[in-house]
């Protein structure tokens, strides 16, 4: 396996149409394994083929793990998905805003509205058809990755022109918000 270089904006490949995958051969399996390794190495929760310079309808996704009381990863609580030729065929009316980053837009995060739940159909790494319903953060990651396959980026969908920050700015903002909240909701007792 090998780590693939991740392209960043304004690379034109991030904006182009991507071909459906038609051959589920050894070459594809190797590309998928390399994408999984690249995503993990970059601490990403998703990676789409155009982000590694391949114009294909393919993305890999790995959800964050559940944590125990000490903040350690509980093994077996990450879900790995390989999605090929995916199509969102149903979306919930409810939308929710959340903060997203992208390995192709390093150093920034932005606020984006996404459907709380979606239904997706597509194919797995062996070409078998699947249908799934996703919720919350997993649904958000799927929407972000499937946007990549259509040449779209989260910066196209910000909740407002000001809803983008550098990672440092956002960290400061969060600390300030937390401090403010503590002021308003003092802890009971000592
Ligand atoms: Ni991305």
Model pLDDT for residues 118-151, shown as the tens digit of each residue: 999 999 999 999 999 999 999 999 999 999 999 9
Return the pLDDT at 166: 97
Return the pLDDT at 186: 64
Residue 69 Cα, ligand 1 centroid: separation in angstroms? 30
Q: Region of 92 please: left (phi>0), alpha (psi -120 to 50) or beta.
A: beta
Give the domains, in start order, of the chain with CATH numbers.
12-184 (3.90.45.10)
Return the pLDDT at 34: 98
* Known catalytic membership, residue 145: yes
Which of 135, 145, 144 has the alpha carbon at shortest distance from 49? 145
Q: Which two tokens stand for residue 41?
A: 């190495």
Q: How confident is the model at residue 82 (pLDDT cuts 50, 70, 90)?
A: very high
Residue 146 Cα, ligand 1 centroid: separation in angstroms? 9
Of all residues in the chain, the percent with pLDDT exceeding 90 is 88
Tokens 């009381």 found at: 69
Average pLDDT over residues 14-42: 97
For residue 28, count other CB atoms closer than 10 A to its CB: 20
Residue 120 and residue 59: Cα distance in Å, rounded? 13
Residue 46 and residue 42: Cα distance in Å, rounded? 10
Return the pLDDT at 65: 87
Which of 64, 139, 63 has the alpha carbon at shortest distance from 95? 139
* 187 pLDDT above the threshold of 80: no
Tell whether pTM > 0.75.
Answer: yes
Residue 174 Cα, ligand 1 centroid: separation in angstroms? 22
Q: What's the pLDDT tens digit per position in 85-106?
A: 999 999 999 999 999 999 999 9
| Catalytic position from the list 145, 168, 169, 183 | 145
Residue 103 Cα, ligand 1 centroid: separation in angstroms? 6
Residue 7 and residue 181: Cα distance in Å, rounded? 39
Q: What's the pLDDT tens digit per position in 31-70?
A: 999 999 999 999 999 999 999 999 999 999 999 888 999 9
Return the pLDDT at 155: 97
* 123 membership: H or E segment, kind and range: strand 117-123
């Amino acid at each position: 396996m090998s780590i693939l270089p991740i392209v960043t904006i304004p690379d034109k490949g991030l904006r182009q149409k991507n071909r459906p995958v038609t051959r589920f051969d050894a070459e594809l399996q190797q590309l998928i394994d390399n994408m999984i390794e690249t995503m993990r190495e970059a601490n990403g929760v998703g990676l789409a083929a155009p982000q590694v310079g391949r114009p294909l309808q393919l993305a890999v996704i790995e959800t964050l793990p559940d944590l125990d009381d000490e903040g350690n990863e509980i093994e077996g609580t990450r879900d790995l998905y390989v999605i090929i030729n995916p199509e969102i065929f149903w979306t919930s009316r409810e939308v929710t805003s959340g903060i997203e980053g992208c390995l192709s837009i390093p150093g920034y995060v932005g606020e984006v509205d996404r459907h709380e739940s979606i239904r997706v159909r597509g194919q797995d790494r062996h070409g078998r058809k699947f249908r799934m319903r996703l919720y919350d953060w997993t649904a958000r990651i799927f929407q972000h990755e499937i946007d990549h396959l259509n040449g779209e980026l989260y910066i196209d969908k910000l909740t407002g022109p000001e809803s983008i920050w550098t990672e440092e700015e956002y960290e400061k903002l969060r600390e300030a918000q937390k401090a403010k909240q503590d002021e308003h909701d003092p802890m009971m007792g000592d």
